[in-house]
Amino acid sequence: MTFSGVLVPLITPFAADGEVAAEALEGLAHAVLDGGASGLVALGTTAEAAMLTEKERRAVVEVCARVRRERGATLVVGAGSSGTCGTAEALRDLGGVADAALVAVPSFVRPGEAGVLAHFTELSRRSPVPLIVYNVPHRTGQAAGAAALREIGALTAVRGVKQAVGGVDADTVALLADPPEDFAVLAGDDAFLSALLALGAPGGIVATAHLCTADFAALAEAWRSGDAARARALGHRLSALAAAVFAEPNPTVLKGVLHARGLIPTPSVRLPLLPARRESVEAVLRLL
């Protein structure tokens, strides 16, 4: 399994009674695949996974796994916690269900890069599915630099990284210049997708691609085929759209826009998130 193109980290839509709106989730999954997405991500940050119950998380995975079977699509599932043993237990249930697991660098613990390597070494040994490292230091408090990611990427089960460091930093440039073999450096910050694709990233995990999915897929294809003029034009426009979608905490604005377009039953999010302001939602709608 290789990971490339635009993978969409699906929101978790809620019904008026606060329950997971499974039918709306299934519809979104099919819609982004119809638009050209190369795969789906369930239970990522965009899914509000931390605020879902275990029963709700299972329901979300069941819906996405069904779409995976029907469409032959790639499915990545967010899994794990700060602890290595707990993460290994969560991964155990994904065999035969997902193509890979998205596993964050341990948060709060701040184990240092040696501890991060030890964490993924143990998970690589125990996981029934390939692993994609979620490197998002502004959420976890623990950075993983290019040298550490090369060591982690050499592990048997590790197949890529979602690189979400808040920009195009020196480590990202260095990693893209010399990645491990069969290791995908995926853009994880929507606004910098085009920049990372230009530097050689094979794709990205892109929440904003719920909207204008075909344009995001075209952006990836334009860089892949060497059509730089088209890629730059698309990239500038879609980066502006992504910045507007992330004007408030993810996925509040995105849910407001999807609701305004009639694609989900409510714009509701779970506390401690608060619904996006109307002005933020309208700013995205104007760009669309």
- Give the residue ranges of the annotated binding site for pyruvate: 46, 205
| Per-residue model confidence (pLDDT) at position 181 | 93
Residues ≥6 apart with Cβ < 8 Å to 37 = 5, 6, 7, 8, 73, 209, 213, 216, 217
Contact 171, 162 (CB under 8 A): no
Low-confidence ranges of the chain (pLDDT < 50): none
For residue 205, the cross-strand partners are 7
Residue 247 lies in a domain: no
pLDDT of residue 2: 73
Q: Among residues 162, 210, 255, 259, which one is catalytic? A: 162
Q: Within 127-178, where are the H helices?
A: 137-140, 146-153, 170-177
Q: Which domain holds residue 162?
A: 5-227
Q: Is 161 helix (H, G, I), strand (E, B) or coil?
A: strand
**Active site annotation includes 255:** no
113 within a domain of the structure (yes/no): yes
Binding site: which residues?
46, 205
Residue type, position 134, single letter:
Y
In a domain, 55, yes or no: yes
Is 134 an active-site residue? yes
Which residue among 3, 120, 134, 246 is the active-site one?
A: 134
Residue 194 lies in a domain: yes
Domain CATH for 44:
3.20.20.70
Residue 237 within any structural domain of the chain: no
Residue 258 in any domain: the answer is no
Give the count of domains, the chain: 1
**Residue 1, pLDDT score:** 63
